Every structure is written in structure tokens, then in C-alpha cells.
Amino acid sequence: MDPRDQHTARYESGYQPGNYRDPGYSQDRGYGQGHGYGQDHGYSAYQQSDPPDRQSRQHQGPDVNIGMFVGGVIAAAVVTALAAWLCAWIIEIIATRVTESGEFGVWNPMAQDAYWFAVVAFICTLLAGVLWFLLRLGTPSPELFFGWIVGILTAAAVIIPLALSSHLWVGISTGIEHLVIGLPILSLVRMVGAKSIVPQ
């Protein structure tokens, strides 16, 4: 037994681990407290805190692909403008042919020409896209509110010309034109918004 190192007692004959009472011997010097393995401060702190991706999700904006949404709204505006122009052109042809025949009297032309309705349709579609995005930012169900708002405005745009126009033909043709503008906006902008949502 080396008097300078009491741990050599384990090599003596008759040694039993339970009889050795050195308080420092029972401590595992390689894995004890204060040596990194006993106190896993970094791991416990990481478990208590939220994951980085969860913290980043709490501060991010709406889950919409802006580039795809803007491109889709512009394409929907072009389609709506073309539909409005085509509808106005067809109505003008019908009114001209009926007036030339003289069998049903004189049908007055529309309140505006076809190009004016096309421009209005393009601008209204862009505004509808802005409305959908704002509803996505601040409402729990943007598709539902968007459908109600656009539906009510379309119904008003159809009914008001019928009630206020001095000529019945002008009121009917303008109401039909407004309906042709409102229906594509209601369907296309909602579809573009739904397709532009990024899944998380």
C-alpha cells in the first residue's frame, strides 16, 4: 500500500470496496458535478426555450407568396377586362342591328363604350386583389368576407342602373355589363389568393 496514494488499497489482498471510506473515492472524477457531463446546462436551457422556427413563426407576416399573388391578380384583371370588353361589344352589335331593323323601335346605345368598361374592369380587379390581401392580414376568414363584400357590391352595381337609368335599355345593358365584371372578380381573385397561400 503506497502511503502517498490511498487508492492503491484496492490492489491489496482482502480489499473490499464497502470497507473503503474515503469520501473522495466514491465520486466519479470524470463524470462528476462540475465537469460538464453532470450538469448539462445547454441542453436543459434548450428544452425550456421554444424552438427557433416556432419563435420565428410568431413574428412573420401572412403566409402568402407575394410575387405569385400579384402576378395572378394582374392576369385576373386582364381576363376581366377582356370579358367586359367582349360583353359590351356584343351588346352594341345587338342594339345596332335591332335599331336598323326597326321592328322593335330604337334601342339606345350603352352609357359608355366598350373600352371604358374594360378599363373599369381592370381597375376593379386590382382593387379587389388589394381588398383580399388586407382581409388576409386582419380577418380570421378572408375568403368568406371577400365573397360577401364583392357579392354585395356586384348586386348593387346591377340593381342601381336599372333603378336610376332614364332609358330601360341603358339600364339593362349597364347592369349586364356590371354583372360580367363582378362575377370574374369574385371567382378569379379568390382562386388566385387560395393558390398563393404558402403551406406551413
In sequence order, the β-bridge partners of residue 197 are 64
3-state helix, strand, coil in the chain (%, to 5): 70, 0, 30
Residue 133 domain-assigned (yes or no): yes
C-alpha cell at 128: 379587389
- The SS3 assignment for 64 reads strand
- Give the total number of structural domains in the chain: 2
Residue 11 domain-assigned (yes or no): no
CA–CA gap between residue 161 and residue 168 (Å, rounded): 9
Short-list 35, 51, 63, CA closest to 137: 63
Q: Do residues 52 and 88 share a domain?
A: no
Residue 90 domain-assigned (yes or no): yes
CA–CA gap between residue 80 and residue 16 (Å, rounded): 94
Note the pLDDT of residue 123: 96
Note the pLDDT of residue 56: 47
- The SS3 assignment for 38 reads coil
Q: Which domain holds residue 30?
A: 17-59
CB-based burial of residue 35 (10 Å sphere; 0-12 exposed, 13-18 middle, 19+ buried)? exposed
Give the DSSP H or E segment for 57. helix 52-59
Phi-psi domain of 105 (left: phi exceeds 0; alpha: psi -120 through 50; beta: other): left
Residue 41 domain-assigned (yes or no): yes
Q: Do residues 97 and 128 share a domain?
A: yes
Cβ-contact 48, 137 below 8 angstroms: no
Note the pLDDT of residue 12: 66
Tell me, what amino acid is at 118?
Answer: A
Note the pLDDT of residue 43: 45
Residue 8 domain-assigned (yes or no): no
C-alpha cell at 33: 458535478
Residue 38 domain-assigned (yes or no): yes
Residue 165 domain-assigned (yes or no): yes
Per-residue pLDDT tens listing for the chain (200 residues)? 556 666 666 666 666 665 545 555 445 554 444 444 444 444 444 445 555 544 444 445 558 888 999 999 999 999 999 999 999 888 888 877 776 766 655 556 666 677 888 999 999 999 999 999 999 988 888 889 999 999 999 999 999 988 887 777 788 888 899 999 999 999 999 999 988 888 76
Of the residues 59, 76, 109, which one is the last residue of a structural domain?
59
- The SS3 assignment for 136 reads helix
Note the pLDDT of residue 62: 57
Give the DSSP H or E segment for 124. helix 114-138
Cβ-contact 101, 165 below 8 angstroms: no
Note the pLDDT of residue 57: 45
